[in-house]
A and B are shown apart, each in its own frame.
Chain A
Amino acid sequence: MAVRQDASTGELVDDGDKNTPQLEPDMMQIKVYSPYKVYFDDQAYSITAVNATGPFDILKGHHRFLTLLIPCELIIQTKNGEEKIKISHGIMYVKEDRVTVFLDV
């Protein structure tokens, strides 16, 4: 939280974290990347993946979650439609409407 005192009014103003863009309603920030390539880094409605238990979806408001992914096709629902990324394996970390998928590890 970036709280500052307004020079003219003297009131405390919360500008939010300027490094992280505000999330749109029903959207999460998703980043899918490997050590040498970023495959997706944007806001999206959901992400579908597969772990040892089976296929699952992550939506906004999901509980904090850390899982190992098995070979599958990641499906990301964005404003402009579906994005599909084939993966061999990876790690998914979900925390506070932010999903990070580490690939090739």
Chain B
Amino acid sequence: MRRPNDIERDVKSIGTLVELTSVFEGIASMRIAQIKNQVLQATQFFDDLWEIYSQLRVDNLFRFGRSQSDEVVLDKDLYIIVTAEGGFSGDIDQKLISTMLKTYDKDKHDILVIGHHGAMQLAQRGIGFIKYFKMPTKDKNINVEPIIKYVQKYQKTNVFYQEYISLMVQDVKRIELSAAVAEQGKQSETNDKKEIITSDNTIFEPSMYRVIDHLERSMLQIAMSQLILDSKLAQYASRFRAMSASHERAEESQGDFKLELNRSIRAMKDQRLKEIINGLRKSKVSA
């Protein structure tokens, strides 16, 4: 049996681990609450924009804000994968890349990566990508304009991201970006009869089509930011889960070590007691 001093040292170090995992768990849950709040705020903003846009639309075609642009649209689809920045994301990034590769054809698709981990995974598999962006460290005012510039060059864009379902469940999801905008818009739509905004009842500056283009770009940006935030939410939830499990394991180990320590102290006391009794017996016999 190990000596109590050695076990006591282990109890102390595992105690530090218990505290650390508890702190990380707390940070992850705080971040989750913050992001959830931001997603709600941004949704309200999107809803207000969508209301104006839906009153302006003359048809259901989403033009990615390029109706007034002369740039040639590439005859390819863009795949955007949203992954974690570091390697603490578990296996969900690998799952995400495997899902993407099921439909990937290098002649028909270009890949844009968000998050260093995804770029590393693709490089390891020898798959090329046109651009890599770092996962934003902040959770507010994410600038997605450079990504939207790429989106506008392509016919269609599919985004592969981690979806936050609950604290314990995260999944990989694929969505067509214009569908993401429409889906978010549909959620905000009410059954109220809509007014129509036309140049007969509204003054537009610079022009109605420029305003529609701008609104489409804005909503694309918000939808893209929401997808990135959703991914971050899933990553924090995954980290929270990992920290919860580590915290639980550390607490169990701490319990085991304490039990071992008590046993060791007890064994030592028993040994001393035995020695004293034996000593007493011997002294009685000799007397």
Name A's B-contacting residues (CB within 8 A).
33-36, 51-53, 63-68, 91, 93, 100, 102, 104-105
Whether A35 lies near B45 (C-beta < 8 A) is yes
Are A68 and B211 CB-contacts (below 8 A) given A35-B42, A36-B38, A105-B221?
Answer: yes
Query: B38, B42, B203: which has the most chain A beta carbons within 10 Å?
Result: B203
Q: In the bound complex, how far is the Cα of B210 from the Cα of A104, in angstroms?
A: 17
Q: In the bound complex, how far is the Cα of B94 from the Cα of A97, in angstroms?
A: 53
Q: In the bound complex, how far is the Cα of B203 from the Cα of A64, in angstroms?
A: 6
Chain B positions within 8 Å of A68 at CB level: 205-206, 210-211, 214
Q: Does B218 contact A (CB under 8 A)?
A: yes
Q: A66-B52, A68-B205, A105-B221 are in contact. List 13 more A-B contacts (CB 8 A).
A: A34-B141, A35-B141, A35-B222, A52-B205, A63-B203, A64-B197, A64-B202, A67-B205, A67-B211, A68-B206, A91-B215, A104-B141, A105-B218
Chain B positions within 8 Å of A93 at CB level: 52
Chain B positions within 8 Å of A63 at CB level: 202-203
Q: In the bound complex, how far is the Cα of B45 from the Cα of A63, in angstroms?
A: 23
Cβ contacts B29-52/A at 8 Å (1 or 0 each): 000000000100110011011001
26 contacts between A and B (CB under 8 A): A33-B45, A35-B42, A35-B141, A36-B38, A36-B41, A36-B42, A36-B140, A52-B205, A53-B205, A63-B203, A64-B201, A66-B203, A66-B204, A67-B203, A67-B204, A67-B206, A68-B206, A91-B211, A91-B214, A91-B215, A102-B45, A102-B218, A104-B141, A105-B49, A105-B217, A105-B218
Q: In the bound complex, how far is the Cα of B225 from the Cα of A51, in angstroms?
A: 26
| Cβ contact of B45, chosen from A34, A52, A66, A67, cutoff 8 A | A34
Are A100 and B203 CB-contacts (below 8 A) given A35-B42, A68-B211, A105-B221?
Answer: no
Main secondary structure of the interface of B (DSSP, over half): helix
| Cβ contact of A35, chosen from B46, B52, B203, B205, cutoff 8 A | B46
Q: In the bound complex, how far is the Cα of B206 from the Cα of A64, in angstroms?
A: 14
**Which chain B residues numbered 175 to 207 have a C-beta less than 8 Å away from chain A?**
197, 201-206
Chain B positions within 8 Å of A35 at CB level: 41-42, 45-46, 141, 222, 225
Number of A-B contacts (CB under 8 A): 65
Name B's A-contacting residues (CB within 8 A).
38, 41-42, 45-46, 48-49, 52, 140-141, 197, 201-206, 210-211, 214-215, 217-218, 221-222, 225
Chain B positions within 8 Å of A100 at CB level: 48
Q: In the bound complex, how far is the Cα of B56 from the Cα of A91, in angstroms?
A: 14
Closest CB of chain A to B142's CB: distance in Å? 9
Q: In the bound complex, how far is the Cα of B205 from the Cα of A104, in angstroms?
A: 18
Closest CB of chain A to B63's CB: distance in Å? 17
Closest CB of chain B to A91's CB: distance in Å? 7
Chain B positions within 8 Å of A67 at CB level: 203-206, 211
| Cβ contact of B218, chosen from A36, A51, A52, A91, cutoff 8 A | A91
Chain B positions within 8 Å of A105 at CB level: 49, 214, 217-218, 221-222
Whether B197 lies near A66 (C-beta < 8 A) is yes
Q: In the bound complex, how far is the Cα of B202 from the Cα of A67, in angstroms?
A: 10
Query: B45, B46, B141, B214: which has the most chain A beta carbons within 10 Å?
Result: B45
Are A51 and B205 CB-contacts (below 8 A) given A34-B45, A36-B141?
Answer: yes
Chain B positions within 8 Å of A91 at CB level: 49, 211, 214-215, 218
Q: In the bound complex, how far is the Cα of B215 from the Cα of A102, in angstroms?
A: 10
Chain A positions within 8 Å of B217 at CB level: 105
Query: 5 closest A-B pairs (Cβ-Cβ)?
Result: A105-B218, A35-B42, A67-B205, A64-B202, A35-B45
